[in-house]
């Protein structure tokens, strides 16, 4: 024991006596002052010229390198810019800031050498960054499909994105809020081409700078941007087939000068699809067991037209002013054919035939105006932005149910025909300012404020008729809802950096004032409250290891329509209603992450949630109608671990492994909906890339989602694999991509919910096996470079 203690003392003494230097800085374009992400920064011994260490800049253009202090110099290189080599430095301090401005290389170089193959997944700060462009998962997919293929992500039965078992995610586009939620957000993501996504940042535990909403974290979608000056662009088209045809086309234009940056695009999509749903509900009563077996096939046919325009202007070398706008028109014609078979004590006695048609049309406009400033020394930064969204949606739905006896195939009750008109309109306006100031080498402060206003008008008009009569307006089941919400927020963050340690502590305060008024019923639900959201993080950076411990308090607010006390008609046996008494849920999240050589990461995370919002199913034995609504019914605790690593067995072969395992305990004390359940969930995926000769690339992606439990719901296993083949032609101007997705057709949602005497077995199977062929052609005067990747695995082992 004494020998072991002596060894530990020697070990810690050797660490304390070794003199390390932490080198930080920001890489920018010289004339435009634009930050340059993914620039390679390499440190060399000034005496022997040997490689000491290296790093890549993050999306803010910043880098951090820690190494044993000795005379050194750096090189900085990235595509489209002249390689920078510094003078030699001999430092006596333990921290040095070195900012670099790169000059644009207007000549065409034959080869640009990069130090290491860029990984599909990497960790930087509090972000896990997935390279969508390199992985190829965005090609031919919309943004929703692309996000669902990220590590730890999946879709639930309603196509909501779930991350680590939590569907309450905040979506950002290039660091700016999408301003949409619910169905509107899903439609927005479906109309965004995955081919235009460069990378996605997964921020599992955000700091006080970000909105407190989103207990599942933040997804920041980074769109592709032009690299070179001049006029460039691309045009693409794809055609796919699963059970039905689908195709999409798009055009992107970029023009970048020393002062101006312009990008524009237009996209069109036509999609036919199907969703096969089977819901088996069993109700056990003292002398009767009732089973309702519902089989529904949903056939949507949709078209989407989206246009975008973005302009930015370099007011000076320190300031940029810009604006970007997106306009989308989405139309959908949907038909649902269904049948519900009724069994009583095992005897098949009745069935109901369902036919539902839906015409949906919506228009959406989102935009922003922003201003960014950074001082010459980069010790002062200021950002301001105004965001706006307006959304108009109309739905005209007609549902017919015909009721038959099995014995004689005759109707035992009059057919029910219901028409539902559902126009929705809302406007969102938000503005925010952020300020950052470096006080000295160790202290930096950040502060900012935000205000947002939401106005939502929801009208649900229900009409009913018999087969031989006209539609009659149903005042009892119709409703007009107005919802307004104001949120004001301020935050402050203190950063302290010393040696290879960094500490951050922040506090965010939010004031919420809301009013939900049912005009039809003359009822109002109003309230206001102040919430505080503290956060902190501790980082420790060594040569090849990074450690991070973080904490934040998060909130999940009810969806606007979840507060509507009137119901939405689903079908004869299912009705969904709102709950005007629904309150937000709060979560304390803790995350510890270890990163090794930007290739391997492990995270241990835990969440403690109070006032958990969950869906309740209430079955009426007399009418056989199940009413669904949300309520604050439970508390939950989640503990999990996620692992990610990358290996390269050969120069042409890259493999990324991801796994996630979690333990959940949920408890409900709500009368008639009590449970105290524990369970586990796990997910794993393997992404492989084969870079072959003559510009051929093959991708092989596979996943397995194991059996899991959350509360009183058990999800069944799901698995599948997909393949992609990519080939470049004409000096990489033309790209051909062939995809085969979900070849086993086993990617589906299956769950079982048990509550008291009711058991619900739910299966959703989308049109999963899909084959797609797409072509993309790049054009313009911007210079292209051939990129040669060299293998430094041997050298890296000696770093």
3-state secondary structure 310-334: EEEEECCCCEEEEEEEEEEEEEEEE
41-55, 68-82, 88-102, 214-228 — which is least confidently predicted?
214-228
- For residues 723 and 443, what is the distance between their CA atoms, to the nearest angstrom? 49
- Contact 627/610 with Cβ under 8 angstroms? no
- For residues 583 and 110, what is the distance between their CA atoms, to the nearest angstrom? 61
Within its chain, how far is the Cα of 623 from the centroid? 40
pLDDT at residue number 307: 92
- Contact 234/777 with Cβ under 8 angstroms? yes
Q: In Å, how far are 25, 46, 126, 237, 439 from 91, measured between CA atoms?
A: 16, 12, 29, 55, 21
- For residues 711 and 755, what is the distance between their CA atoms, to the nearest angstrom? 10
pLDDT at 225 over 60: yes
Q: Which three-class secondary structure state does DSSP give residue 406? A: coil
- 568 pLDDT tier (thresholds 50, 70, 90): low
Cβ atoms < 10 Å from Cβ of 17: 7
pLDDT at residue number 342: 93
- For residues 94 and 67, what is the distance between their CA atoms, to the nearest angstrom? 10
Nearest of 742, 403, 458, 324 to residue 572 by alpha carbon: 403
- 793 pLDDT tier (thresholds 50, 70, 90): very low
- For residues 314 and 259, what is the distance between their CA atoms, to the nearest angstrom? 5
pLDDT at 794 over 70: no
Give the largest CA-CA distance in the chain. Answer: 96
Cβ atoms < 10 Å from Cβ of 623: 11
Nearest of 243, 139, 167 to residue 765 by alpha carbon: 243
- 5 pLDDT tier (thresholds 50, 70, 90): very low
pLDDT at 109 over 70: no
Question: 303-312 pLDDT, tens per residue?
Answer: 999 998 999 9
* Helix-then-strand count for the chain, H and E: 5, 49
107-111, 463-467, 614-618 — which is least confidently predicted?
107-111
pLDDT at residue number 783: 45
pLDDT at residue number 721: 92
- For residues 688 and 701, what is the distance between their CA atoms, to the nearest angstrom? 6
- Contact 748/763 with Cβ under 8 angstroms? yes
HSE-CB at 713 with a 13 A cutoff on CA atoms is 16
- For residues 324 and 308, what is the distance between their CA atoms, to the nearest angstrom? 7
- For residues 445 and 496, what is the distance between their CA atoms, to the nearest angstrom? 9
- 210 pLDDT tier (thresholds 50, 70, 90): confident
pLDDT at residue number 605: 92
Handedness of CA 638, 492, 34, 225 (dihedral sign): positive
Q: Could you tell me how many residues make up the chain?
A: 799
Specify which residues 159 forms β-bridges with. none
- Contact 15/7 with Cβ under 8 angstroms? no
DSSP conformational letter for 86: P
CA end-to-end distance (rounded Å), the chain: 33
3-state secondary structure 620-673: CCCCCCEEEEEEEEEEEEEEEEEEEEEEEEECCEEEEEEEEEEEEEEEECCCCC
pLDDT at residue number 482: 87
pLDDT at residue number 743: 92
DSSP conformational letter for 148: H
* Residue 48, burial from CB neighbour count under 10 angstroms (0-12, 13-18, 19+): exposed
Q: In Å, how far are 270, 423, 466, 515 from 363, measured between CA atoms?
A: 16, 12, 34, 25
- For residues 642 and 661, what is the distance between their CA atoms, to the nearest angstrom? 6
DSSP assignments along 512-566, one per residue: EEEEEEETTTTEEEEEEEEEEEEEEEEEEE-SSEEEEEEEEEEEEPPPGGGG-SS
- For residues 26 and 73, what is the distance between their CA atoms, to the nearest angstrom? 16
- 9 pLDDT tier (thresholds 50, 70, 90): very low
pTM: 0.77
Angle, CA 167 vertex, CA 163 and CA 172 arms, to 5°: 80
pLDDT at residue number 516: 81
Average pLDDT over residues 31-54: 81
pLDDT at residue number 449: 96
HSE-CB at 170 with a 13 A cutoff on CA atoms is 21
Question: For residue 695, which phi and psi values (nearest 5 degrees)?
Answer: 60, 35
- Contact 63/99 with Cβ under 8 angstroms? no
- For residues 364 and 285, what is the distance between their CA atoms, to the nearest angstrom? 49
DSSP conformational letter for 166: B
Average pLDDT score, the chain: 82
Question: 459-501 pLDDT, tens per residue?
Answer: 888 888 877 788 888 877 788 888 898 999 999 999 998 877 8
- For residues 176 and 170, what is the distance between their CA atoms, to the nearest angstrom? 11
Handedness of CA 169, 171, 177, 181 (dihedral sign): negative
- For residues 437 and 671, what is the distance between their CA atoms, to the nearest angstrom? 53
3-state secondary structure 658-689: EEEEEEEEEEECCCCCCEEEEEEEEEEEEEEE
- For residues 579 and 568, what is the distance between their CA atoms, to the nearest angstrom? 12
- For residues 219 and 206, what is the distance between their CA atoms, to the nearest angstrom? 10
pLDDT at residue number 125: 58
3-state secondary structure 229-284: CEEEEEEEEEEEECCCEEEEEEEEEEEECCCEEEEEEEEEEEEECCEEEEEEEEEE
HSE-CB at 365 with a 13 A cutoff on CA atoms is 6
174-183, 281-290, 624-633 — which is least confidently predicted?
174-183
- For residues 419 and 358, what is the distance between their CA atoms, to the nearest angstrom? 10
5-14, 554-563, 707-716 — which is least confidently predicted?
5-14
Question: For residue 562, which phi and psi values (nearest 5 degrees)?
Answer: -70, -15
Question: For residue 184, which phi and psi values (nearest 5 degrees)?
Answer: -65, -40
CA-based R_g, the chain, Å: 28
- For residues 767 and 304, what is the distance between their CA atoms, to the nearest angstrom? 19
**Percentage of residues in the chain having pLDDT higher than 90:** 30
pLDDT at residue number 200: 87
**Percentage of residues in the chain having pLDDT higher than 70:** 88
- For residues 18 and 10, what is the distance between their CA atoms, to the nearest angstrom? 12
């Amino acid at each position: 024991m004494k020998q072991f203690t002596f060894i530990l003392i020697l070990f810690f003494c050797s660490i304390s006596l070794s003199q390390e230097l932490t080198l930080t800085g920001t890489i920018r374009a010289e004339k435009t002052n634009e930050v340059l992400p993914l620039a390679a920064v390499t440190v060399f011994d000034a005496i022997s010229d040997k490689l000491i260490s290296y790093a890549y800049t993050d999306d803010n253009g910043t880098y951090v390198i820690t190494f044993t202090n000795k005379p050194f110099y750096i090189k900085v290189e990235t595509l489209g810019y002249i390689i920078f080599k510094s003078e030699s430095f001999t430092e006596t301090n333990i921290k040095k800031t070195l900012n670099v401005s790169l000059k644009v290389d207007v000549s065409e170089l034959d080869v640009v050498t990069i130090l290491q193959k860029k990984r599909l997944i990497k960790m930087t700060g509090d972000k896990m960054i997935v390279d969508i462009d390199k992985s190829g998962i965005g090609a031919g997919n919309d943004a929703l499909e692309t996000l669902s293929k990220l590590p730890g992500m999946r879709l639930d039965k309603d196509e909501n994105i779930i991350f680590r078992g939590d569907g309450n995610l905040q979506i950002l586009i290039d660091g700016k809020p999408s301003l949409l939620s619910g169905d509107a957000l899903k439609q927005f993501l479906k109309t965004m081409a995955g081919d235009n996504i460069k990378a996605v940042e997964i921020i599992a535990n955000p700091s006080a700078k970000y909105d407190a909403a989103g207990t599942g974290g933040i997804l920041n979608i980074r769109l592709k941007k032009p690299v070179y000056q001049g006029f460039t662009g691309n045009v693409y088209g794809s055609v796919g087939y699963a059970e039905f045809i689908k195709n999409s086309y798009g055009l992107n234009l970029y023009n970048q000068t020393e002062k101006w940056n312009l990008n524009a695009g237009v996209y069109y999509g036509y999609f036919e699809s199907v969703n096969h749903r089977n819901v088996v509900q069993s109700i056990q009563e003292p002398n009767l067991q009732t089973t309702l077996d519902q089989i529904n096939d949903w056939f949507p046919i949709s078209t989407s037209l989206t246009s975008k325009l973005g302009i930015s202007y370099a007011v000076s070398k320190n300031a940029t002013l810009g604006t970007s706008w997106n306009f989308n028109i989405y139309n959908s014609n949907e038909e649902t054919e269904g049948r519900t078979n009724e069994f009583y004590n095992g005897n098949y006695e009745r069935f109901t035939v369902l036919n539902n048609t839906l015409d949906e049309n919506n228009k959406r406009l989102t935009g922003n105006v922003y201003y960014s400033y950074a001082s010459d020394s980069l010790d002062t930064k200021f950002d301001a932005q105004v965001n706006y969204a307006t959304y108009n949606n109309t739905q005209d739905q007609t549902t017919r149910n015909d009721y038959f006896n099995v014995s004689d195939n005759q109707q035992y009750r009059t057919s029910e025909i219901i028409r539902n008109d559902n126009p929705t309109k809302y406007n969102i306006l938000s503005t925010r300012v952020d300020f950052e100031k470096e006080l000295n080498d160790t202290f930096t402060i950040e502060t900012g404020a935000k205000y947002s206003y939401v106005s939502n008008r929801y009208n649900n008009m229900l009409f009913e008729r018999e087969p031989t009569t006209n539609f009659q307006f149903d005042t009892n089941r119709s409703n007009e809802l107005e919802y307004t919400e104001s949120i004001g927020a301020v935050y402050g963050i203190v950063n302290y950096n010393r040696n290879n340690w960094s500490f951050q502590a922040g506090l965010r305060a939010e004031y919420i004032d809301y009013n939900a008024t049912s005009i039809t019923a003359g009822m109002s639900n109003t309230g206001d409250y102040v919430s505080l959201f503290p956060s902190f993080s501790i980082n420790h950076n060594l040569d090849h290891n990074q450690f991070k411990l973080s904490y934040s308090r998060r909130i999940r607010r009810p969806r606007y329509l979840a507060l509507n006390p009137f119901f939405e008609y689903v079908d004869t046996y299912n009705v969904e209603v709102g709950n005007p008494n629904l309150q937000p849920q709060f979560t304390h999240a803790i995350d510890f992450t270890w990163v090794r050589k930007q290739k391997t990461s492990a995270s241990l995370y835990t969440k403690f949630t109070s006032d958990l919002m969950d869906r309740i199913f209430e079955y009426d034995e007399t009418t056989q109608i199940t009413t669904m609504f949300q309520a604050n019914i439970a508390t939950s605790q989640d503990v999990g671990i996620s692992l990610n690593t990358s290996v390269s067995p050969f120069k042409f072969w890259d493999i990324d492994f991801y796994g996630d395992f979690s333990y959940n305990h949920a408890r409900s004390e709500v009368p008639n909906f009590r449970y105290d359940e524990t369970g586990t969930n796990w997910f794993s995926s393997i992404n492989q890339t084969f870079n072959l000769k003559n510009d051929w690339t093959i991708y092989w992606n596979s996943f397995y989602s194991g059996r899991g439990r959350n509360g009183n719901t058990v999800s069944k296993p799901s698995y599948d694999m997909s393949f992609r083949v990519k080939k470049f032609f004409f000096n990489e101007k033309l790209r051909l991509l062939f995809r085969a997705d979900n070849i086993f057709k086993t990617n589906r949602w299956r769950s079982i919910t048990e509550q008291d005497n009711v058991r619900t077995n739910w299966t959703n199977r989308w049109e999963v096996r899909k084959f797609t062929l797409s072509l993309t052609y790049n054009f313009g005067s911007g210079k292209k470079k051939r990129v040669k990747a060299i293998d430094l695995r041997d050298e890296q082992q000696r770093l």
